[in-house]
Every structure is written in structure tokens, then in C-alpha cells.
Structure 1
């Protein structure tokens, strides 16, 4: 495994009864890049994400992160190694404030995530870093609001801040702009580009304008297998990719 490759899957396959969701996928994600997974509905994108982070066990194949075999590792162990799937595992609690949510992520990082009984004053040492992360995602004016009070796009920004609190080396984002209006989509896309400056990002995204704006490399899945891979120009001009997207509203 090359030092330039941070995450590598070989022959990754997931079979359910009578159905192959991911079929013999070879994937290499370059360190420091933004790598997008796209494909029509049912192409296997989210299943592949779940295999890479071990929320699902592969039927066959291997996964290596930073050169280490993680094929059978527990999801929590993978997160501790620095490979974190955002939105699914980030600690965002609706009744807690923005500050409290981000600080809870910092508690996880230092191994005291669930010590809810600790006095407020004992957590003040985490406040400076929490405020840095909150400012980085543009939520400084919402610091005292509870998560449930936030508009949808701001809530997604909070989820990113809580994930960044874990200090991941690589983030996996599953449809980060889903359900958003145009203005929020642009804000989240810019935020992803910003947080990717010092880490690797693998993202599933349906909005091809976002993919074109963000991605260094794009992998196109169809029926659980890789159909094409390359830059946006490469894949958007690929006849097989155009055919796969015909009638889906994405072409």
C-alpha cells in the first residue's frame, strides 16, 4: 500500500440473501484528497460506506487504513484510528446547546465521553477548542442555541463540528447536502472544502454541482460495481456514465 493511499479496499463484496449489494470493489483514496462516490439510486454507495467503516461486515475482500488491515476491526476502533463517518456517529443531541454538543465530541476524544455527571466547571478546559471549532463552521452566533433550534443547514454544520472534535484524519460524509436549499448547499460545500484542507474526505453526494466543485477524484458505482473513475471531466464525458444517469435527473 503506497504512502500516498490512506484507504484501500480490495475485492470488497457484500452479499445479502439473493442479492449482491457491493460486487468486487477495488477502491484507493489518496491522502489529502476529496474523493466522491456517485451513482444512481441503489448503486451501493451507502452500503460501501458501511463496509468501509465496519457498520456492515464484508462477505469477501479486505480494507486497509494507513497500511493497517481493518477488515475485521470494530467501528469504535476504526474511529479511534482516525477514520470517522460523519452524521451517523457524530454526537449531536437536540436538547444540548451547540457548545455542549461540540464539547461532548472533545470529551470523546480524551476518553470521557459519557461522564455526564461531571460538574460544568470541570469541562471549562475544553471550551477554547470548542469555540474554535464552532467558529470554524460559522456557528458562533448560535453557540447558546440548542441543536433542535437550529435550521437544517446549521444543524449539519454542527454535526461536522462535532465530528471535527474527534480530530479525524479522514472523514466519510454520507450525502451531506441532502434535503438542503440552494444557499445551505453552497455553505456546506464550502465548509467541506475548508475542513478538507488538513485531512482526507470521502463523500457520497447526489448533487453533481457539489461533486464538480469539491472533488479531486470521482468513483461511479452502478449495481454495486465500479463503472468509472477519474476527474469530473473524465466521468462526465464517459458514455457509460451518461447512460447510467439517463432518466435519473442527474445527467
Structure 2
């Protein structure tokens, strides 16, 4: 019987590419309402795992369950409708549209219709109102009518989170949300992730251990496609096997 507290579960999830096993028998259990981090050295299988969960790849074997329903063979659009929404590592926004237009497109996608500039003014007004509320949630309301191309990198990532929120996610998958950021942007986006996690579940791949230690409830460490360790940061960071896996970074410490 399924555990009602689990929102996402994989059972013996495996992916092979021409004889190479990228993900090997992974049993991942993500609890509802938590921030769960997926970490590991380069080549550990984190991105492949994400691609399996969001259906960009089909597993070689194993099963995936979301909210008690098996989604192993479901199409990407089908799981997006169920509320599994992925925010991409490379900012997935339209640079020549304004912020409010970008979020409005996300809102229309959530309604299952394409973006139509000839939609009635009343409908557009409602969309804009909701889009502005989402921009306000991520601290960008003051820039609503600015062209996206003019934003700083950190603000683009915040906009990307707003467009992800427009899809009304139950489970948000964040792929390296702070990659390439300076300290100020990292702190802002970390606070934003913590804020938007209220009432949602977040699964994230992230390299920055400072962020992971400050906001993650559970950490799963992958190495060579398998789960090496799992638990709270204090438990995982003290695990000798995890320290050894990270020996290439500084002195084996997980502090970055």
C-alpha cells in the first residue's frame, strides 16, 4: 500500500545507454511538502534521473509513482497536467517579451491553450492580474513591463520560477537554480525557493552546499548512478562514503 506522505517514489529506477548504466536501481522517496536535494559528483546520474522523472527519457526498467499513481510510461504533457513542473537550468523565457507577457504565457499553458494576443481584453486583464501577483511573489512586480533581455541573470532565474509557478505545480523540479550566480543573487534565489516551497514540494539538483544545508529537509547523494547516502544534511555530510566521493573537492568536506 502506498504511503500517503510520499508525493514521488521511484522503485529500482534504471537507465542504460548502449551498455552504460547511468541510473542503477534508484529507490527515491520524496515526502510531500519538503525540499529534497539530489546531489553528487559530476557524472553521478543526477540529470539523467531528472530527465527520467520528467519523461524526457524512458527508463530501461523500474517504476515511477506520483501522488500514488504510476507515471512510468506517461507522456511529459500528462505529468505536467498532474502538477509535475520542471524549471530548466538554462533560463526558459522569451527574451524579447516583457516579464508580464512571459508569465502570462505560462498561465495560458496551464489552461491548455496557446498564447493568443487576440484574446478578449477582459480575459487578458485577468491573466495580467494573476501574472502581476506571481511577479510580486518573486519580487519582480516593479519590472513587470521591462523586456526580459534587460534583466540581470539572477532576476531571469526569479522570472523562470514565476513562470514555473504559473503552471500551478504540486511538485517543482529545479535544475541547478543558482548555477552561475554571484553571492547576492544566490542569497536572493535561495530565499525565493524557501518562500515558494510553502504548500508545495521541491526536488532540486544543486551544487552549492551552503544552499543545500540551509534549506533542504532531505538530501539524496548519488554516485555512479546509485544512491550512496540519504538523510538530513548533518547525517549526510558526516558520512565517510560521501566525504570520499567528494575528495576531489577541497579536503573531502562538503562545505563549499
Tell me the SS of whatever aligns to 2:197.
helix
Structure 1 stretches of 5 or more lacking a match? none
Answer yes or no: is the 8 Å Cα contact 1:90–1:163 preserved in 2: no
Taking structure 1 as reference, are residues 205 and 182 closer, same or farther at Cα in structure 2, changes over 3 Å only? same
- Superimposed CA distance per residue, residues 174-214 of structure 1 (whole angstroms, 9 cap, x where no aligned partner): 00000000010010000000000110000000000000011
The 5 A counterparts of 1:46-85 are: 46-85=47-86
Cα distance in structure 2, aligned partners of 1:88 and 1:110 = 24
Match of 1:37 in 2: 38
CA-CA distance at 1:78 after TM superposition: 0.4
Answer yes or no: is the 8 Å Cα contact 1:34–1:217 preserved in 2: yes
The 5 A counterparts of 1:27-176 are: 27-87=28-88, 92-118=93-119, 122-176=123-177
With the length of structure 1 as denominator, give the TM-score of the two structures.
0.96
Tell me the SS of whatever aligns to 2:244.
helix
Cα distance in structure 1, aligned partners of 2:232 and 2:123 = 48
CA-CA distance at 1:109 after TM superposition: 1.4
Tell me the SS of whatever aligns to 1:197.
coil
- Superimposed CA distance per residue, residues 67-104 of structure 1 (whole angstroms, 9 cap, x where no aligned partner): 11100000111000001111269862111100001111
- Superimposed CA distance per residue, residues 212-245 of structure 1 (whole angstroms, 9 cap, x where no aligned partner): 0110000000000000000000000000000000
CA-CA distance at 1:123 after TM superposition: 1.0
With the length of structure 2 as denominator, give the TM-score of the two structures.
0.94
The 5 A counterparts of 1:181-200 are: 181-200=182-201
Answer yes or no: is the 8 Å Cα contact 2:89–2:176 preserved in 1: no
Answer yes or no: is the 8 Å Cα contact 2:58–2:73 preserved in 1: yes
CA-CA distance at 1:114 after TM superposition: 3.4
Answer yes or no: is the 8 Å Cα contact 2:91–2:157 preserved in 1: no
- Superimposed CA distance per residue, residues 103-159 of structure 1 (whole angstroms, 9 cap, x where no aligned partner): 111111122233345366641121221111001101012111111111000000000
Tell me the SS of whatever aligns to 1:201.
strand
Answer yes or no: is the 8 Å Cα contact 1:35–1:201 preserved in 2: yes
Cα distance in structure 2, aligned partners of 1:62 and 1:190 = 33
Taking structure 1 as reference, are residues 108 and 7 closer, same or farther at Cα in structure 2, changes over 3 Å only? same
Cα distance in structure 2, aligned partners of 1:247 and 1:120 = 57
> CA RMSD, aligned part only?
1.5
The more displaced of 140-149 and 9-18 is 140-149
Cα distance in structure 2, aligned partners of 1:120 and 1:95 = 22
Cα distance in structure 1, aligned partners of 2:247 and 2:130 = 47
The 5 A counterparts of 1:202-221 are: 202-221=203-222
